[in-house]
Structure 1
């Protein structure tokens, strides 16, 4: 997967999250989790784009690390939504799987960058 494909994939993750958040209940947990999830899910792509424009390898790693943290936080919020039963599992699980895959991609990229050349 190249840089442009990953930019698109992270944007699609944010857009899919927006759609999911719109369908959450409006009770107390349904008000708190959407805010956290929206912030973290939209931050994934924003920080990845920023990483792609990094001025140094250190800056690239730092921004990619933030993307990893944010997608992991998104996955955690999605797990809470699934385990609480706020939405049907089949509605949330595909997005959670995408978060998990993005975590793996960012983690692998960071590990590769840490290895000596």
Structure 2
């Protein structure tokens, strides 16, 4: 998957999270979870774009690790929404699937980048 496709995918993930959060009940718990979820989902896309502009391989690796953390945090908040029964929609399940896929993608990206950095240091 090229970087532009992944940038678009992370942006769509953020938009879908915002749309899901718009449907949540208007109570304190849902508000706090929504706030955290919207921030972490937005950070996935924003930090991935920053990673694409990294100044060096170590900088890229650092930024991809941030993206991975944010994707995993988004997954956590989505799982909490389901576990607490604040939401039980197919949209939430679709977003959980997407968050898991993004975690796998960015985990593999970080591993490959670290491996490539090691190879370049130890030819």
Question: What's the TM-score, normalizing by structure 2?
Answer: 0.92
**Considering only aligned residues, what root-mean-square deviation do their CA atoms show, in Å?**
0.8
Q: Deviations over 1:14-40 (max 9, x none)?
A: 000010010111111111101100110
C-alpha separation in 1, matches of 2:62 and 2:114: 12
Distance 1:14 1:84 in 2: 22
Matches of residues 95-114 of structure 1 in structure 2 within 5 Å? Answer: 95-114=95-114
The separation in 1 between residues aligned to 2:62 and 2:26, in whole angstroms, is 36
Question: Residue by residue, what CA displacement relative to the aligned partner does 1:42-97 show, whole Å, maximum 9, x if unpaired?
Answer: 00000000000001111111111110000100000000001111112423110011
Gaps of 5+ in 1: none
Q: How does 1:26-65 map to 2 (within 5 A)?
A: 26-65=26-65
Structure 1 residue matching 2:6: 3-state secondary structure: helix
SS of equivalent to 2:87? coil
Give the aligned partner of residue 68 of structure 2: 68
Mapped to 1, the partners of 2:109 and 2:7 lie a distance apart of: 14
**Aligned residue pair count:** 117
Larger Rg: 2
Task: Give me the TM-score of the superposition, normalised by structure 1.
Answer: 0.96
- Partners of 1:16 and 1:41 in 2: how far apart? 9
- TM-fit CA distance, 1:8: 0.4
